Amino acid sequence: MEQGETRKEKQIRELVCAQRRYFLSGATLSYEARLDALRRIRWALCKYEPQLLHALYQDLGKSPSESYMSEIAMTKAELNYCMRHLAGWMRREHVRNEVSNFSGKSFTMAEPYGVVLVMAPWNYPVLLCLEPVINAIAAGNCVILKPSAYAPHVAAVIENMIAACFAPERVAVVCGGREENTALLEQRFDYIFFTGSVAVGKIVLEKAARYLTPVTLELGGKSPCIVDKTADVPRAARRIVFGKLLNAGQTCVAPDYLIVHPDIKYELFRAMEQELKKMLGEEPLACGEYPHMVNKKHYLRVMNLMKGQLAVTGGYGNPETLQIAPTILDEVSLDAPIMKEEIFGPVLPVLTFTTREELLAILRHFEKPLACYLFTRDRAMEQWVLRHVPFGGGCINDTIVHLATSGMGFGGVGASGMGSYHGRAGFETFSHRKSIVKKYNWIDLPMRYHPYADWKDAVIRRVMR
């Protein structure tokens, strides 16, 4: 043991060393090795699916249907997509050669960083652990995965699942809390991929700076949902309710608050209430499929945010089951505590706008969000929002579902994060792209070599303009 080191710290340090040795052996580099690793995850996902579904119910009260749709199926889709495209992504990419590089060719190729740390949150504990791991493996890295201690049952299943597929020097899981997090961030990694809160994201970035380790931060924030007066109100209501109910609002891309045109506000409220009844019945907390808040602290935080607000529907919870009824809050002011932090619960505050200037003023009150949703049938409005409102990603006339398209990257901007993943974006995130010029030897143009001369100068000026 090194001086002052605990047993845990020693284990973690040795694990990183073992992974680095393994990576440097070159065993992770070939297409076959990467595909084999991805196949192992596919096998494990099928084998451990019942255990994962049960653990998700234990940790978050998620029903098997919701867990399958929003965690297992999404992970499988990402896995299949990566397996299908991996060979193409690994190929060299040729780029046009500059005349100054005559005679030769230019190309780029992706190389893995090495040993990668993936830190995951508790809210989608299967998806957000395994998706980055799949991308990192596809890119040829060794991975240490740190699941959140707040979803302990899922973390335990994932630990077993990964141990059943991989030797620890290839992919390993480190479970635990503060001590493990601190010990991990003391190590030198070649890449850190963090999903979680802004506050911890800042700590991760600071720790990474010590070794100049590149970092992706997948953070959260307040994602707005705009409904203008041309929207198809019944559809909008249904899709907004879907986005807010998923995992009881504990979703990084959940619509955090609504900005609605006053002309359709009450029609939208009625439609959302109808949808809530259709989906969860008269008493949402009695519906066996409705998830709960992850823990007491989180439950109390969200309940406190509702205090003093005007609830159109909901507004109550059950401290025994930690469930909070889906809640719509009307006439919320920008100064209210609920507008000061990411809600991360099934509560939807509503603000109104009539002009684009008013809308922009509200949106600019907040940091750049991870997601933004717009419900409209007005093409000009759609263009205007896309051009003027910065955000990580989003949907027009829907919520949440943009992250299901593996063909495009997913990530935040500004305070909602940096970098992206999913599909090719994920492969590129976990790869360094080397740029190469390969020179041929049949000719060697003399212009760049000493001694310089007027004729050389003339040629250079003619060619390099």
- Of the candidate spans 23-31, 39-47, 214-222, 457-465, the one that interacts with ligand NAD by CB under 6 A turns out to be 214-222
- Of the candidate spans 39-47, 68-76, 113-121, 278-286, the one that interacts with ligand NAD by CB under 6 A turns out to be 113-121
The count of residues interacting with ligand NAD (CB under 6 A) is 25
Interface with ligand NAD, residue 412, by CB under 6 A = yes
The set of long-range contacts for 167-170, using a CB threshold of 8 Å and a minimum separation of 24, is: 167/22, 168/15, 168/18, 168/19, 169/15, 169/18, 169/19, 169/21, 169/22, 169/142, 170/19, 170/22, 170/27, 170/28, 170/37, 170/142, 170/143
**Interaction pattern, residues 310-339, with ligand NAD; x per rule: CB under 6 A:** ------------------------------
Interface with ligand NAD, residue 120, by CB under 6 A = yes
Interface with ligand NAD, residue 428, by CB under 6 A = no
Residue number, 158 or 370, with CB nearest to ligand NAD:
370
Interface with ligand NAD, residue 342, by CB under 6 A = yes
Residue number, 130 or 231, with CB nearest to ligand NAD:
130
Residue choice 219, 227, 312, 347 for contact with ligand NAD (CB under 6 A): 219
Residues 163-182 that bind ligand NAD (CB under 6 A): 181
Say if residues 251 and 408 touch (Cβ distance below 8 Å).
no
| Span between the terminal Cα atoms of the chain, in Å | 60
Report the C-alpha gap between 215 and 209 in whole angstroms. 9
- Of the candidate spans 74-82, 99-107, 197-205, 233-241, the one that interacts with ligand NAD by CB under 6 A turns out to be 197-205
Asked about 252 being catalytic, the answer comes back as: yes
| Packed helices 178-186 and 7-24: angle between N→C axes, nearest 10 degrees | 40
Residues 223-282 that bind ligand NAD (CB under 6 A): 252
- Of the candidate spans 196-204, 229-237, 240-248, 330-338, the one that interacts with ligand NAD by CB under 6 A turns out to be 196-204
Instruction: Return the sign of the alpha-carbon dihedral for residues 333, 338, 339, 340.
Output: positive
Interface with ligand NAD, residue 425, by CB under 6 A = no
Interface with ligand NAD, residue 195, by CB under 6 A = yes
* Token digits of residue 60: 């978050």
Q: Is 192 exposed, middle or buried (0-12, 13-18, 19+ CB in 10 A)?
A: buried
Residue choice 79, 145, 185, 236 for contact with ligand NAD (CB under 6 A): 185
Closest residue to ligand NAD, judged by C-beta, is 220
Interface with ligand NAD, residue 118, by CB under 6 A = no
Report the C-alpha gap between 451 and 457 in whole angstroms. 11
Residue with tokens 């998620």: 62
Alpha helices in 96-191 (DSSP H): 127-138, 152-165, 178-186
CA 1 → CA 7, 13, 167, 264, 424, distances in Å? 8, 10, 23, 67, 41
- Of the candidate spans 93-101, 105-113, 120-128, 327-335, the one that interacts with ligand NAD by CB under 6 A turns out to be 120-128
Nearest approach in angstroms of CB 238 to ligand NAD is 24
Q: Which residues pair with 105 in a beta bridge?
A: 438
Catalytic member of 49, 218, 275, 428: 218
Interface with ligand NAD, residue 213, by CB under 6 A = no
In 324-334, which positions are buried (b, 16+ CB within 10 angstroms) versus exposed (e)? bbbbbbbebee
Instruction: Return the sign of the alpha-carbon dihedral for residues 387, 389, 394, 398.
Output: negative
Residue number, 200 or 300, with CB nearest to ligand NAD:
200
Say what the alpha-carbon torsion angle 128, 129, 133, 134 is, to the nearest 10 degrees: -60
Rg (C-alpha) for the chain, rounded Å, is 25
Interface with ligand NAD, residue 203, by CB under 6 A = yes
Could you list the active site residues? Answer: 218, 252
Question: What residue ranges bind ligand NAD (CB under 6 A)?
Answer: 119-123, 128, 146, 148-149, 181, 185, 195-197, 200, 203, 218-220, 252, 342, 344, 370, 412, 417
